[in-house]
């Protein structure tokens, strides 16, 4: 990693970078103020879509992390595009929480007991199916997200 990129220093990776990754994320510190920011690097990216970047910078929404600046750099040994965002330590993206980790829809308590939204008895067969607990099996293997999670996504995105 370079010691600094433009006005940012102290690059610390925020995620594991695979051998064929197209992007990487870092926590960085501003040289003058010492404030921390999140830096997203697009590997081997030559052109800057100025109109789209300007629109993204103008976006002000409580559920979207604000883009502060975007610039090309050769500090990583290639022509990378770097985007700098506000840094929120300890936060987790929806994608990493529900899609990438294969624990999507895992609605269990601390004891690992699955909760059936339709029955207080998890072993009770459903009258509309010959398979017992089909929905719980789908939840356990991560095929479904609970309705409460889906509604929270919908409310936040609208």
Q: What is the pLDDT of residues 61-97, one digit of tens each?
A: 887 888 999 999 989 888 899 999 999 888 877 767 7
Close Cβ partners of 32 (under 8 Å, ≥ 6 residues apart): 7
pTM here is: 0.62
Distance CA 9, CA 2 (A): 8
Q: What is the CA radius of gyration of the chain?
A: 21
User: Domains, the chain, ranges and CATH?
Assistant: 4-86 (3.30.200.20), 94-157 (no CATH)
Residue 124's pLDDT band (cuts 50, 70, 90): low
Q: What percent of the chain has pLDDT over 70?
A: 68
pLDDT score for 136: 64
């Amino acid at each position: 990693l370079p010691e600094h990129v433009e006005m940012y220093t102290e690059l610390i990776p925020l995620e594991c970078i695979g051998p064929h990754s197209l992007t990487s994320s870092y926590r960085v510190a501003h040289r003058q103020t010492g404030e921390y920011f999140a830096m997203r690097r697009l590997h081997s990216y030559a052109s800057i879509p100025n109109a789209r970047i300007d629109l993204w910078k103008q976006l002000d929404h409580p559920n979207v992390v604000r883009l502060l600046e975007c610039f090309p750099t050769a500090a990583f040994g290639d022509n990378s595009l770097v985007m700098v965002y506000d840094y929120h330590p300890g936060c987790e993206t929806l994608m990493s929480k529900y899609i990438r980790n294969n624990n999507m829809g895992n609605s269990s308590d601390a004891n690992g007991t699955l909760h059936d939204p339709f029955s207080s008895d998890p072993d009770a067969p459903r009258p509309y199916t010959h398979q017992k607990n089909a929905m719980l099996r789908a939840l356990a293997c991560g095929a479904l997200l609970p309705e409460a999670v889906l509604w929270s996504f919908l409310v936040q995105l609208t």
